[in-house]
């Protein structure tokens, strides 16, 4: 017992001595390590600007944005001239790290993919690609023109979204707060107007009653649903566009592109992985416009792979899901072809909304 206690004490003492040694070495090396890390980060910043022209403040944070460089005016350091963000988002098979520089007027100045390990020849085309974001207001991001490698492009867009969400903190005081609330956005299912004004957003300005706005396919404002309501300010409309694009209740990738009440046909377009070619579903409705009689897939995303696909040759997946839908089976999930399947699921949800409305539903 006593021997065991002494052995334990010896181990304890050795552990304490080792801890003290480590503390000493850490006190010596830690400042050097921090200085090296700072130097490495400033080297990244010099990709865009001459660091000597500004007083650089470095902010390290947790989350997708790990570092913010605030470039202050050298003579008046209360003025932030630019903010540069080191931001990351998950791509197809790697984290995509970007540097995004924002001017004091919140326009995007420069951006660059600084690190990625996406698929060679497919996802890695994002490096050096001009996404057309320079000059855009970061708080009112438009859809950008990305390469067809959708997952990688989405990650790049997500990086801009992370910066958009952060920028107000860094340029505190420069960004006006808007006195309104965004209440939601839904599909416009009115036969007369749904083609040109596919969405209806509801907002409340100040303490007033809610206002409904017609939005275009890119969520930009078209007109008021009720012409007697006051027109919100441009700043509010810009924010509505931003909020609508972030919602999950509607998607600008899935919409009704044609409706013929005489022929009783409805055309729904929906996009999965291929931004350049949407899936097109042409549906024939019954006389009371509340049920699907038949459908055809006039353009598809799925492709034939020599019979290996469990859903058959193209448009096997699209046909499979539509057949499930019209036979009242669940289409909430499907194995494989995730992006195309999700596009089809969104399409069936939109068709269901349309039929419900014609059937006296919502």
Partner 1 sequence: MNQKENFLKGFIKENPLFVTVLGTCPALAITTTVENALGMGIAVFFVLVLSNLIISLLMVNPKMQEWIKPVRIPVFIVVIATLVTVVEMVMHAFLTNLYESLGVFIPLIVVNCIILGRAEAFASGNKPLDSIVDGAGMALGYTFALFLISFFREFLGNGSITIWGELKVNLIGLFDFLQITPIDLFAKPVGAFLTFGFILAVIAAITNKKQEKAKAGVK
Contact residues for partner 1, defined by CB under 8 A: 3-4, 6-8, 10-11, 14-15, 18, 21-22, 25-26, 29-30, 32-33, 36
Q: What burial letters (b/e) apply to 266-300, b meaning 16+ CB within 10 Å? A: bbbbbbbebbeebbbbbbebeeebeebeebebeeb
Distance CA 50, CA 77 (A): 17
In 3D space, the residue among 181, 168, 103, 98 whose CA is nearest the CA of residue 139 turns out to be 168
CB of 253 to partner 1, least distance (A): 41
Q: Select 22 or 293, whichever has its Cβ closest to partner 1.
A: 22
Other CB atoms within 10 Å distance of the CB of residue 215: 24
Q: Select 11 or 192, whichever has its Cβ closest to partner 1.
A: 11
Q: Select 16 or 79, whichever has its Cβ closest to partner 1.
A: 16
φ, ψ for residue 81 (rounded to 5)?
A: -85, -40
Residue that is written with structure tokens 């036979």 in the block: 327
Distance CA 255, CA 350 (A): 7
CB of 11 to partner 1, least distance (A): 5
Question: Which pair of tokens denotes residue 5?
Answer: 């206690």
Q: Select 14 or 261, whichever has its Cβ closest to partner 1.
A: 14
CB of 4 to partner 1, least distance (A): 7
CB of 26 to partner 1, least distance (A): 6
* Residue 216 DSSP one-character state: -
Q: Select 8 or 210, whichever has its Cβ closest to partner 1.
A: 8
CB of 20 to partner 1, least distance (A): 10
What does the chain come to in residues?
362
């Amino acid at each position: 017992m006593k021997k065991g206690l002494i052995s334990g004490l010896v181990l304890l003492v050795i552990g304490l001595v080792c801890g003290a040694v480590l503390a000493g070495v850490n006190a010596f090396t830690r400042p050097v390590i921090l200085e090296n890390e700072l130097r490495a980060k400033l080297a990244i910043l010099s990709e865009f600007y001459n660091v000597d022209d500004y007083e650089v403040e470095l902010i390290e944070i947790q989350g997708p944005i790990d570092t913010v460089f605030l470039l202050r005016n050298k003579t008046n350091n209360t003025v932030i001239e630019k903010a540069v963000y080191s931001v990351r988002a998950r791509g197809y098979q790697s984290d995509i790290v970007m540097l995004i520089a924002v001017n004091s007027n919140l326009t995007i100045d420069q951006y660059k993919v600084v690190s990625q390990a996406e698929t060679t020849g497919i996802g890695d085309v994002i490096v050096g690609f001009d996404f057309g974001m320079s000059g855009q207001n970061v708080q009112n991001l438009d859809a950008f023109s990305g390469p067809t490698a959708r997952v990688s492009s989405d990650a790049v867009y997500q990086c801009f979204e992370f910066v958009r969400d952060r920028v107000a903190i860094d340029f505190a005081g420069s960004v006006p707060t808007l006195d309104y609330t965004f209440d939601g956005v839904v599909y416009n299912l009115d036969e007369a107007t749904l083609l040109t004004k596919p969405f209806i957003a509801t907002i409340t300005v100040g303490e007033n009653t809610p206002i409904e706005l017609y939005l275009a396919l890119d969520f930009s404002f078209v007109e008021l649903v009720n012409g007697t309501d006051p027109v919100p300010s441009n700043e509010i409309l810009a924010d509505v566009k931003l909020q609508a694009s972030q919602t999950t209740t509607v998607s600008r990738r899935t919409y009704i592109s044609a409706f013929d009440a005489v022929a009783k046909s409805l055309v729904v377009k929906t996009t999965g992985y291929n931004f350049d070619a949407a899936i097109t579903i042409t549906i024939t409705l019954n006389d009371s416009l509340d049920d699907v009689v038949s459908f055809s897939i006039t353009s598809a995303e799925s492709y034939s792979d020599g019979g290996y696909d469990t859903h058959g040759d193209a448009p096997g997946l699209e046909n499979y899901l539509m057949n499930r839908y019209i036979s009242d089976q669940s289409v909430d999930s499907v194995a494989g072809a995730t992006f195309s399947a999700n596009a089809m699921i969104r399409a069936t949800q939109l068709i269901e909304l349309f039929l419900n409305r014609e059937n006296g539903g919502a």
